[in-house]
Amino acid sequence: MPSQPGTASEPPRRLLPGRLADYIVRAAKAAYYPIEGIWYFLRRPYFYPLFVGRLLPLSVISLLVYFILFTFAFLPQLAFLLIFHGWKGAVVSATALVLGEGLIVIQGIFEGFFVDECRVDVFDATLIDKGHTDLVAPQRILFFDAPNPVKMLGKPTTRAEYQPWSMVQIVELIFFLPLNLIPIVGTPAFIMITGARLGKLSHHRWFKLRGLDKKATKKELSIRGWEYLWFGTVAMIFELCPILNFFFLLTSTAGAALWVAKLEDRARVRVGRPITAEERVAQSAQEEPVYHDNLV
């Protein structure tokens, strides 16, 4: 028997515009976090020592990498792309190709400068600043009498990584680079596809702090897959900026932590391994480490 108009079996079409608006709002909020991270990072000078020591060498390396690529690789690729694109499209696609190639080289080099360790510190310090010390405390030594969240950070007591590095990421970047050859849609597709993976990795540290296993992590990623796409896309655009790559890596990390702080504020009850009342009592009973302000 066919369903009558207005029955429960008929999809409520009037909700479709509302659902579309919901997707747009969720995407906009997620995309804003990397931008918010820039403002948040700049307004807190205690973050500066984390990147000042590495800023000069990494900026010089980034400059050299892009100088070499734009000198020797840009024009040949531009000439090839002119076969398929108009002049403007070829310039945009060739630029995106060179920036993507530079990002592949730079990601490998950055690993040797302990950039991931620096990102873990930014992430953890941001959570502490936002009142989620209890989330970080089980995973690293904290100096509670320190003057700011960065100074509070001691050595991790468990394996700490912000974004696990693997050859899969490099291979994926190389594999999707040819998308830039496709007129108009190729470059945005490259940024969004690689950004989707980048977005999912942005909360890797959070999942580990909560003690989630692979199944629980996969569930979390599926719940916020749409948001991770847009967070990662904006973060990817920033990371493609020559010379400023390292700075934007840290600000996007701060943005990811700000996002986590909002989620933690709303949820309160964690899906993973929450800190029990007994553990809180045990932690408070332990002698706190003495903070020493050692100048680096």
**170: containing domain:** 26-269
In a domain, 56, yes or no: yes
Instruction: Quickly tell me which residue has 């909360």 as its tokens.
Output: 203
Say if CB 202 and CB 228 are below 8 A apart: yes
- pLDDT reported for residue 283: 41
| Gyration radius of the chain's alpha carbons | 22
Counted domains in the chain: 1
User: What CA–CA distances, in Å, run from 125 to 46, 148, 151, 153, 264?
Assistant: 10, 9, 9, 7, 15
Instruction: Quickly tell me which residue has 């999912």 as its tokens.
Output: 200
- pLDDT reported for residue 57: 83
In a domain, 85, yes or no: yes
Say if CB 207 and CB 271 are below 8 A apart: no
In a domain, 8, yes or no: no
In a domain, 134, yes or no: yes
| Residues paired with residue 142 on neighbouring β-strands, in sequence order | 153
d(CA 195, CA 230): 8
In a domain, 111, yes or no: yes
- pLDDT reported for residue 293: 53
- pLDDT reported for residue 137: 94
Say if CB 158 and CB 139 are below 8 A apart: yes
In a domain, 291, yes or no: no
CA distance from start to end of the chain: 78
**Percent with pLDDT over 90 in the chain:** 52
pLDDT in tens, 3-42: 454 444 445 445 467 788 999 999 999 999 999 999 999 9
In a domain, 116, yes or no: yes
| Identity at 38, one-letter amino acid code | I
d(CA 135, CA 280): 11
Q: How many CB atoms lie within 10 A of CB 140?
A: 18
- pLDDT reported for residue 280: 42
- Six-digit token string for 45: 């000078």
> For the stretch 63-76, what's the b/e string if a residue is b when 16 or more beta carbons lie within 10 angstroms of its beta carbon?
eebbeebbeeebee
Q: What is the pTM of this model?
A: 0.81
Regions in the chain scoring below 70 on pLDDT: 1-16, 111-112, 268-296
